[in-house]
Chain A
């Protein structure tokens, strides 16, 4: 496999019992790309992401992430990934500083280095908070940005964000995407799953999934031209609408 890909999958498949959550997925993601996973709930986005992170073992097929095979080297892959799940997963009963200390600890990042990075990231995401503030007292939009800060502590080349903007208001979503853009400019590869079609416009390339299968795989502009849609919303309804009838 070619090492220039950040991610490359070959017929990646996950079966739960007799339900095929992801069916023969073939994607290639280049370094520095913002790559979108779009689809309705249950389309297989989260399952695909979890396989790429090493959280789930593929039923069949192959996936190389950052040059490592997910079946063999999941630990090496985990070092290269910053991950944010769709559920808020910091500790509400710890302060911001304690959460940062914990995540820097489990990624074995020296505390001082982690603190420096955290300060930079907090500035980038626009959070100006004392380290002593309890995480549980923050509004959801702040928590999501803080979770991103924690996911960046070990300076991973690959960021995987599973529906990072669900439940966040439109203004905060926009701000979040600005951050994602500047991270991509710094050279990070970013996978974002979302069911907000307007967010697809921010992606360099995207796939639309339905019942575990990849329907299309292209840049937003090429897709709109190809299907003659004015925006992604229209395109999505055209392609995946059957699910929402």
Chain B
């Protein structure tokens, strides 16, 4: 029986339990990150001030305005100043947008079966402007629906996150980012620290094999990373009220896979970096930015240039994000998540083999 892998594991567990700094990283960092990012990244818009110039002032036009007022997002008022001085309101940030209903609103509506209203939006914050636009379309659609006026209309149905709550979107993304970052960080120190202390030399003169060291070092950290996963999931669920539709064992299985990818990446870094400091820097830069930018967390992959799209294929979070959104929001099971799951298995295998190959049993 091989006793070397258990020996390395037991030693690592002892290191972890005695090192309060590591425990702090593992427990406090994810909580802080999730809470801070979570509140900072809140992208819902509430209390958008819309000024209405209703030149028709009929039952029908008031009904449209009423539809706007009925949502939580909009605050409707009728500005005092004439429409020509609209810019002033924008300068003073008194309004985010204006809704202008022309005098022939009812007329064209009945005669031509369609009417135009104008929406003028302050786009100095483009994100907010896009959201105001989308919300307004939704309101106009509701109006059309209610009045049954248009024979053909585009109806947008938003599934899985009907209120477009941003927590639904950033909590899975943050889980993906925090897990990859912390896991890579933990193992990146695991070997570089022993090189620095000189204890690696003592291990290398023993008849141990490279894969025994690597596997013995990965296994204890899987448990640690899974504890983190539970932690962020609980915060997401209870603090940010993100639903969890899917099955927990499925979540656990895929999360374990993802964590193994990240831990292996950390080990690979560890075999390359010469000092603990360098290893930590590499682990953070190699995980944080790609996960934020190139995983589909912040920006949709489909809208990236082809070259970047290609790069995203090498970002593990890209696959995990697909998986975790699928599980949390859609209730996907193993069958639907085969493809990203296989991608992660492939990545874990490649990274582990690279780490073992790179890990030289001889000194440099």
Task: State the A residues within 8 Å of B (CB).
Answer: 50, 53-57, 74-76, 78-79, 81, 83, 85, 87-91, 93-94, 98, 101-108
Contact = CB atoms under 8 A, between A and B. Distances in A.
B362 interface: yes
Contact of A98 (B3, B11, B197, B199): B11
Contacts of B206: 78, 103, 106-107
16 contacts: A55-B362, A55-B363, A56-B362, A56-B363, A83-B202, A83-B205, A85-B202, A91-B15, A94-B18, A98-B11, A101-B7, A102-B10, A102-B11, A104-B7, A105-B3, A106-B206
A84 to B, nearest CB: 8
A89 B362 contact: no
A78 B204 CA distance: 9
A85 B14 CA distance: 23
B205 A55 contact: yes
Point out which of A87, A91, A104 has the most chain B C-beta atoms below 10 A from its C-beta: A91
A79 B4 CA distance: 13
B6 interface: yes
Contacts of B342: none
Contacts of B201: 55, 85, 87, 89
A53 B199 CA distance: 15
Given A101-B7, A105-B7, A89 B197 contact: yes
A79 B207 contact: yes
A151 to B, nearest CB: 9
Contacts of A98: 10-11, 14
B208 interface: yes
Nearest to A83: B205
Contact of A50 (B2, B7, B18, B363): B363
A108 B206 CA distance: 10
Contacts of B205: 53-55, 78, 81, 83
A88 B203 CA distance: 13
Contacts of B6: 105
A74 B14 CA distance: 30
A121 B182 CA distance: 42
A209 B118 CA distance: 92
A106 B362 contact: no
Contacts of B361: 74
B89 to A, nearest CB: 65
Contacts of B362: 54-57, 74
A102 B207 CA distance: 14
Interface of B: 2-4, 6-8, 10-11, 14-15, 18-19, 197-199, 201-209, 361-363
A93 B4 contact: no
A85 B2 CA distance: 26
Contacts of A88: 198
Instruction: List 7 tightest A-B contacts by C-beta distance, closest first.
Output: A105-B7, A87-B198, A89-B202, A83-B205, A78-B207, A106-B206, A102-B11
Nearest to A91: B199
Contact of A89 (B2, B10, B198): B198
Contacts of A106: 4, 7-8, 203, 206, 208
A45 to B, nearest CB: 15
B214 to A, nearest CB: 14
Contact of B3 (A78, A85, A108): A108
Contacts of A79: 207
Contacts of B18: 93-94
A17 to B, nearest CB: 12
B207 A75 contact: yes
Contacts of A94: 11, 14-15, 18
Contacts of B199: 89-91
Given A90-B202, A106-B206, 9 more contacts: A76-B207, A83-B202, A85-B202, A89-B202, A91-B199, A93-B19, A101-B10, A102-B11, A106-B4
Contact of A108 (B4, B8, B202, B363): B4
Point out which of A74, A79, A106, A107 has the most chain B C-beta atoms below 10 A from its C-beta: A106
A164 to B, nearest CB: 13
A226 to B, nearest CB: 35
Nearest to B7: A105
A49 to B, nearest CB: 10
A105 B14 contact: no
Point out which of A76, A103, A105 has the most chain B C-beta atoms below 10 A from its C-beta: A105
Nearest to A107: B206
A37 B268 CA distance: 37
Contacts of A89: 197-199, 201-202
A36 to B, nearest CB: 20
A15 B203 CA distance: 24
A54 B362 CA distance: 7
Nearest to B198: A87
A230 to B, nearest CB: 37
Contacts of B2: 108
B243 to A, nearest CB: 43
A93 B15 contact: yes
A109 to B, nearest CB: 9
A12 B124 CA distance: 74
A88 B209 CA distance: 22
A54 B204 CA distance: 9
B129 to A, nearest CB: 55
Contacts of A81: 205
Nearest to A55: B363
Nearest to B197: A89
Contacts of B19: 93
